[in-house]
């Protein structure tokens, strides 16, 4: 009789150990995947602060034609697209460059809307904003499939006519 109880204790201990190992494996797999995903995102958006920018000198709003003009520059970095957000006193509008949006065009061109090449910059014009007085413009790049945080913004938008 004593031998049967001893065997049952050993078997139950082995089963308990297997269950604990299985649980730890499942938890480690989930935690490891989460860490890898977050690390990938952080790596994609790391150290890009001065590599994608708005140039205040060429950014302005034409009150007469209701058009926002802005300069987007990209230094030595690969960018898939850039999310642009324009905030006004009554609403906000967002769009992506280089995706085709009816109200966004290249400055003085009817060409397709494209991103600047490496170490370059381009001037864009956005019309039909209808968001009230423009308070700010912000940009957030997409790199390696990851949407980064806002990387640059301009909060003082001058009148284009006063810049001429």
* 16 shares a domain with 83: no
DSSP summary character for residue 57: G
pLDDT for the residue numbered 162: 58
User: Do the Cβ atoms of 41 and 146 come closer than 8 Å?
Assistant: yes
- Give the span between the Cα atoms of 98 and 125, in whole angstroms: 13
* 125 shares a domain with 70: yes
- Give the span between the Cα atoms of 77 and 154, in whole angstroms: 21
CATH number at residue 131: 2.60.40.10
* 11 shares a domain with 90: no
User: Do the Cβ atoms of 132 and 157 come closer than 8 Å?
Assistant: no
| Mean pLDDT across the chain | 85
β-strand 60-62 against 104-106: which pairing, if any?
A: unpaired
* 87 shares a domain with 28: no
What does the pLDDT profile of the chain (164 residues) look like in tens digits? Answer: 455 555 687 888 899 999 999 999 999 999 988 888 777 666 778 878 889 999 999 999 887 888 899 999 999 988 999 999 999 888 899 889 987 666 888 887 777 888 998 999 999 998 888 888 888 999 999 988 888 899 999 998 888 875 55
Backbone torsion region of residue 100, taken as left when φ is above 0, otherwise alpha when ψ lies between -120 and 50, otherwise beta: beta
* 149 shares a domain with 74: yes
* 152 shares a domain with 101: yes
Which residues does 157 contact at the CB level (< 8 Å), separation at least 6? 59, 60, 61, 68, 134, 135, 136, 137
- Give the span between the Cα atoms of 40 and 21, in whole angstroms: 28
* 74 shares a domain with 26: no
Q: What is the tally of structural domains in the chain? A: 2
* 60 shares a domain with 31: no
Query: Which residue range is the domain that position 157 belongs to?
Result: 52-163
Q: What is the pLDDT of residues 98-143, one digit of tens each?
A: 876 668 888 877 778 889 989 999 999 988 888 888 889 999 999 8
């Amino acid at each position: 009789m004593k031998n049967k109880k001893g065997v049952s204790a050993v078997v139950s201990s082995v089963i308990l150990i297997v269950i604990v190992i299985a649980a730890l494996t499942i938890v480690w797999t989930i935690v490891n995947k989460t860490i890898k995903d977050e690390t990938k995102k952080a790596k994609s958006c790391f150290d890009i602060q001065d590599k994608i920018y708005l140039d205040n000198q060429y950014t302005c709003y034409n009150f007469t034609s209701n058009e926002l003009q802005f300069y987007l520059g990209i230094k030595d970095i690969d960018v898939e697209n850039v999310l642009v957000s324009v905030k006004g006193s009554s609403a906000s509008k967002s769009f992506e460059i280089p995706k085709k949006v009816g109200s966004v065009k290249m400055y003085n061109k009817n060409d397709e809307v494209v991103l600047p090449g490496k170490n370059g910059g381009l001037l864009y014009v956005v019309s039909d904003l209808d968001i009230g007085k423009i308070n700010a413009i912000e940009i957030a790049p997409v790199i390696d499939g990851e949407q980064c945080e806002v990387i640059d913004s301009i909060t003082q938008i001058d009148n284009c006519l006063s810049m001429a």
